Amino acid sequence: MSVDFFENNYQVLEQALAAAENRGYWSPYPESPSPRVYGETAADDGRKAFESLRDSDFPLGVSGAQGSVGAERSPFGFDLGIRYPRVAVETLVQQAEAAMESWRDAGPKAWVGVCLETLKRLNARSFEIANAVQHTTGQGFMMAFQAGGPHAQDRGLEAVTYAWQEMSRIPEQADWEKPQGKHDPLRMRKRFTIVPRGVALVIGCSTFPTWNGYPGLFASLATGNPVIVKPHPGAVLPLAITVQVAREVLQEAGFDPNLVQLAAHESNDDTASQLALHPAVRLIDFTGSSANGNWLEAHARQALVYTEKSGVNQIIIDSVQDIKAVARNLAFSFSLYSGQMCTAPQNVYVPRDGIQTAEGRMSFDEVAQALAQSVERTMSDPAKAVELTGAIQNEATAERIDAARALGLPVLLDSRALEHPQFPGARIRTPLLLQAEADDECIYQEWFGPIVFVVATDSTDHSIQVAGDTVRRHGALTLSGYTTDESTAEGMRKMAERSGVSLSLNLTGAVFINQTAAFSDFHGTGANPAANAALSDSAFVANRFRVVQTRWHV
Amino acid sequence: MSVDFFENNYQVLEQALAAAENRGYWSPYPESPSPRVYGETAADDGRKAFESLRDSDFPLGVSGAQGSVGAERSPFGFDLGIRYPRVAVETLVQQAEAAMESWRDAGPKAWVGVCLETLKRLNARSFEIANAVQHTTGQGFMMAFQAGGPHAQDRGLEAVTYAWQEMSRIPEQADWEKPQGKHDPLRMRKRFTIVPRGVALVIGCSTFPTWNGYPGLFASLATGNPVIVKPHPGAVLPLAITVQVAREVLQEAGFDPNLVQLAAHESNDDTASQLALHPAVRLIDFTGSSANGNWLEAHARQALVYTEKSGVNQIIIDSVQDIKAVARNLAFSFSLYSGQMCTAPQNVYVPRDGIQTAEGRMSFDEVAQALAQSVERTMSDPAKAVELTGAIQNEATAERIDAARALGLPVLLDSRALEHPQFPGARIRTPLLLQAEADDECIYQEWFGPIVFVVATDSTDHSIQVAGDTVRRHGALTLSGYTTDESTAEGMRKMAERSGVSLSLNLTGAVFINQTAAFSDFHGTGANPAANAALSDSAFVANRFRVVQTRWHV
């Protein structure tokens, strides 16, 4: 390797190791899109770079392509017109296997070095990626920048950090000397080689292609495995740019760029299942529906499968200091990217006889109204609102709002279409708030999108019991509780730990249940049906490589 | 907890952590059964303790038993007559779940403390366990003592060590402070709770009930999971003693002894599958046949399944310094416990045009004869030989020798029955050596027992290729190579790393391919079909617990 990317980036890795250990706040990738941080022309350059990619062939420089594919349309109302090389599944796998040969011998420092350098360069292209994320996922620009750029890079770096931590604890060589009483000791030398599992597959989603794609991509690459990135046909560009950057770094480091390949494909073809069932594919990272995730877990038996699927995220309101602060926080969470987040809350449990506040008792209806009014206020200025909601990625999500309305539950706040001042064709919807009872079966499934049920329960104990059962049966990535009573908080925590979901208590400020911070918050627990892994921990990386030892007498 | 078992045993844990890091020789449990180590009366006391258990009800003090079960017969020719409480599957699971409640809240130090103390007390009962292992597995006494006692305890401690390493890196609490420019920083406190997966099942085997059982048992218990130990009906006693010791420690520590339960059952009933498919069972450790292991992996989908199955272990002879030293080492490996080890070598590849030695060229036939003669010499004094071979655990293994003989391959050395001077009823067989060709398909399956094929190949390159293919297709726990040429050694190592099997080079002294040392050698790689996990590494423990966090503003 002519350039030592490991050495060049070692300082960041060292800081990342420390951050993962103390779990305080840390990020090497600034989340502020300010010109003071990224440079005066960065925003403009990024937009122009994005524009220049439109209506042309994406320059990926791949081998083995047969024609091209691409039909992305911005949820803000225009076609991207970008064409990606189409490479047959068998070709992708063969190229990955061929590329693995020299990669495996390069060892952990080379693998990690390439990953760190790739992340650094991705960070430099955060504005371009932000545009790409915005116009594939429908996220508002600020979220597209932060979640699609620096925060995704954080999660990628976190995976690399854990991978390095696990690999670096295996000594390259050891001397073993066993005493034999009066005789000479037995002496052996042992060499420990970290070996990759094989070809890795990353199956991207349409809403957070980079944030959800980077952990698996970098965890597999950092442990010596070649990676095939299969993007969602509706959100190819952010991952195409990512693959492009990784290939550029690999090439500079003297490796075969086919260690990271893009598997762009037509929507609804069988590329995903062909890849997932290929005997050479030994690692799969998936984000998407429970149906597809469960199918992978059941059928891709030749591979280790890491899934993040769907769930029912819940909020328990027991008692509050200031209902307005609570409602503001929740209105933001309901509206943010129109609930198209795996962490977005859906069911809000409130005792039917009301809750205690610092200003006295509030009835169930008053709580429900406070939430509805806060959402309405948040949505009152369309120009501001659309920055928060972004656009609806998929028409099916817009239709789901209609289906929820048709359930016949009392409507607390109806969903409206909003006009985007800049993008008249954008598909934008405000949150729908419905009132429900705890025994309405329809609320115990995921209603992906801006759909919220305010659910009357018999008591907070009942809320806790219902929430726990729901986590165990249907899975959840987040749980939020509001209470001013310590023993109730303790009860919520006990339930969360027993059902296996992380809990946020009394969020009223600028921290939202939808968001987790790399190096500090685990994303998911891997302990309930919503996900079989957490981002990131040792378990997420430790089985992506194996150790093969050679021993001999000395 | 009235006694602090963690604090009391911390020094051992600290040493174990260091040993796992540098992978040199280390063990806290002396492998020598010398009276100077274990005490003048230890051997006698152990034998008497074993004798006192015979023909009676094993004192386990369990709840929920309905009658008893037990039909163990020593491979040395007598019935043990020990009856174990029979507890219904549903009762076992319910008791495990009930016991988990207070255990989970006790946390990692309590879990690890109980494990460390249990191992210490198991060590003190090594002689009793040695008798129990000898008269269930058929191992000779020395092996039963070492592998069944201290070495098994080493492997148990190793699993606890990795578990502690992974758990202790998660801080109990963290403060997170995110700068907000001119505004006050966002401040949150986060609590991280390590939570168990659920009920763990350990499925024991008939040949190494403790050595193969302890890693899973202690990995699961140390990470907060209650464990149900399901012994092989032919080798219950060693695990019954283990369960007894663990329950005694748990009780002293103030926990429910049902955290470790014994699931003794009739041979050929469906206890194993009932337990394995129970929705509450979330972790399974299995050692046994590939058929059963593969079935578990495919069907026990609610659980994480760690398997060690069968494989074809191989030896490649390319060139040697001293054929006698090689043959002595191999004869020992073929004879040791009559090849009833998952690590025992089966196929020996020798180029048909012979090999180079320090004393000149040797033909294939001369190499084959040297091996046969060395085995014959090793078996020449029956009184000594039976200590090495032990007895055949299962009649099916004795029958397998006949089936191998009936393959019609040239016999290099026939298997004989030996008389045991002390146990006239013992089922003892010397190794059978057959000559084969690389295209004899029959050699590419496991012939469990003292059955060895000396296989003629076209060249060492051919041997390497055949060995690699066999590892990939059929799995292997060990691979051994003999060569005086460095580039050939390199070729063997490359093949080993690519097919995923650990390699021993030029073993001629008192280290044998069958044996691995805890804290230094990984047992298995988890990278080929013989096992999906290695003993022990981070991947073996890191997914047995999960982390649930609670965060709130401060």
> CB count, 10 Å around CB of B209?
30
DSSP per-residue codes, B140-185: -HHHHHHHHTHHHHHHHHHHHHHHHHHHHTS-SEEEEEEEETTEEE
Query: Is A1's pLDDT higher than 80?
Result: no
Tell me if A226 sits within 8 A of A96, measured CB to CB: yes
pLDDT at residue A2, rounded to an integer: 56
- B174/A22 Cβ within 8 A: yes
Average pLDDT on B66-81 reads 97
DSSP per-residue codes, B215-234: HHHHHHHHTT--EEEE--TT
CATH superfamily placement of domain A314-505: Aldehyde Dehydrogenase; Chain A, domain 2 (3.40.309.10)
pLDDT at residue B340, rounded to an integer: 97
The percent of residues above 90 in pLDDT, for chain A, comes to: 98
Q: Does A261 touch chain B (CB under 8 A)?
A: no
pLDDT at residue A418, rounded to an integer: 97
Tell me if A271 sits within 8 A of A261, measured CB to CB: no
The percent of residues above 70 in pLDDT, for chain B, comes to: 100
pLDDT band at A168 (very low <50, low <70, confident <90, very high): very high
Give pLDDT tens digits for B97-115: 999 999 999 999 999 999 9
Shortest Cα distance from B62 to chain A (angstroms)?
A: 26
Give pLDDT tens digits for A221-278: 999 999 999 999 999 999 999 999 999 999 999 999 999 999 999 998 999 999 999 9
d(CA B48, CA A53): 83
- A301/B301 Cβ within 8 A: no
- B177/A520 Cβ within 8 A: no
Q: Does A521 touch chain B (CB under 8 A)?
A: yes
pLDDT at residue B3, rounded to an integer: 79
Q: Is the whole model's pTM more than 0.95, yes or no?
A: yes
pLDDT at residue A500, rounded to an integer: 98
Chain A positions touching B191 (Cβ under 8 A) are: 493
- Optimal mutation site among A21, A22, A23, interface B, most CBs of chain B within 10 A: A23
pLDDT band at B173 (very low <50, low <70, confident <90, very high): very high
| Closest in B24, B496, B534 to A550, CB measured | B496
B531: nearest Cα among B248, B229, B329, B296: B296
pLDDT band at B360 (very low <50, low <70, confident <90, very high): very high
Domain borders along chain A are 5-16+30-309+534-553, 314-505
Give pLDDT tens digits for A494-536: 999 999 999 999 999 999 999 999 999 999 999 999 999 999 9
Shortest Cα distance from B508 to chain A (angstroms)?
A: 9
What is the enclosing helix (H) or strand (E) of B25?
none
Chain A positions touching B21 (Cβ under 8 A) are: 169, 171
Give pLDDT tens digits for B401-437: 999 999 999 999 999 999 999 999 999 999 999 999 9
Query: Is B1's pLDDT higher than 90?
Result: no
| Closest in A525, A527, A538 to B538, CB measured | A538
Average pLDDT on A167-193 reads 96
Q: To the nearest 5 percent, what fractions of chain B are helix, strand and coil?
A: 45, 20, 35
pLDDT at residue B163, rounded to an integer: 98
pLDDT band at B43 (very low <50, low <70, confident <90, very high): very high
| Closest in B22, B174, B521 to A549, CB measured | B521
- B178/A25 Cβ within 8 A: yes
Pair type for strands B355-357 and B360-362: antiparallel
Chain A positions touching B520 (Cβ under 8 A) are: 174, 176, 190
Would you state the CATH architecture of domain A5-16+30-309+534-553? 3-Layer(aba) Sandwich (3.40)
Tell me if B499 sits within 8 A of B490, measured CB to CB: no
Query: Is B189's pLDDT higher than 90?
Result: yes
Q: Does B507 touch chain A (CB under 8 A)?
A: yes
Nearest CA in chain A to B194: A497
| Closest in A174, A520, A546 to B520, CB measured | A174
Give start and end residues of each alpha helix (H) in A54-125: 89-106, 108-124
pLDDT band at B2 (very low <50, low <70, confident <90, very high): low
Rounded (10°) angle between helices B150-168 and B214-222: 30
Q: Tokens 């509001």 identify what position?
A: A482
pLDDT at residue A3, rounded to an integer: 80
- A174/B23 Cβ within 8 A: yes
Give pLDDT tens digits for A130-156: 999 999 999 999 999 999 999 999 999
> CB count, 10 Å around CB of B90?
12
Beta-bridged to residue B285, according to DSSP, are: B202, B306
Q: Does A102 touch chain B (CB under 8 A)?
A: no
Shortest Cα distance from B525 to chain A (angstroms)?
A: 6
Which residues in chain A (412-451) have CB-CB distances under 8 A to chain B?
A: none
Average pLDDT on B180-190 reads 94
Query: Is B154's pLDDT higher than 80?
Result: yes
Task: Number of A to B CB contacts under 8 A, please give it.
Answer: 178
Q: Does A217 touch chain B (CB under 8 A)?
A: no
Nearest CA in chain A to B181: A32
Which residues in chain B (156-175) have CB-CB distances under 8 A to chain A?
A: 166, 169, 171, 174-175
Chain B positions touching A169 (Cβ under 8 A) are: 21, 538
In chain A the first and final C-alpha atoms are separated, in Å, by 32
Beta-bridged to residue B548, according to DSSP, are: B193
Q: Does B56 touch chain A (CB under 8 A)?
A: no
CA distances from B269 to B89, B204, B232, B265, B273 (A): 12, 15, 11, 7, 9
Q: Does A295 touch chain B (CB under 8 A)?
A: no
Nearest CA in chain B to A529: B302
Output the average pLDDT for chain A.
Answer: 97
Tell me if A278 sits within 8 A of A199, measured CB to CB: yes
pLDDT band at A116 (very low <50, low <70, confident <90, very high): very high
Average pLDDT on A112-116 reads 98
Average pLDDT on B233-244 reads 98
Nearest CA in chain B to A520: B176
Average pLDDT on B252-268 reads 97
Give pLDDT tens digits for A411-422: 999 999 999 999
Average pLDDT on B237-249 reads 98
CATH, range B37-178+186-310+534-553 = 3.40.605.10
Q: Does B292 touch chain A (CB under 8 A)?
A: no
Which residues in chain B (299-318) have CB-CB distances under 8 A to chain A?
A: 301
Q: Does A506 touch chain B (CB under 8 A)?
A: yes
Which residues in chain B (359-398) have CB-CB distances under 8 A to chain A?
A: none
Chain A positions touching B193 (Cβ under 8 A) are: 493, 497
Average pLDDT on B177-205 reads 96
Chain B positions touching A521 (Cβ under 8 A) are: 190, 549, 551
The percent of residues above 90 in pLDDT, for chain B, comes to: 98
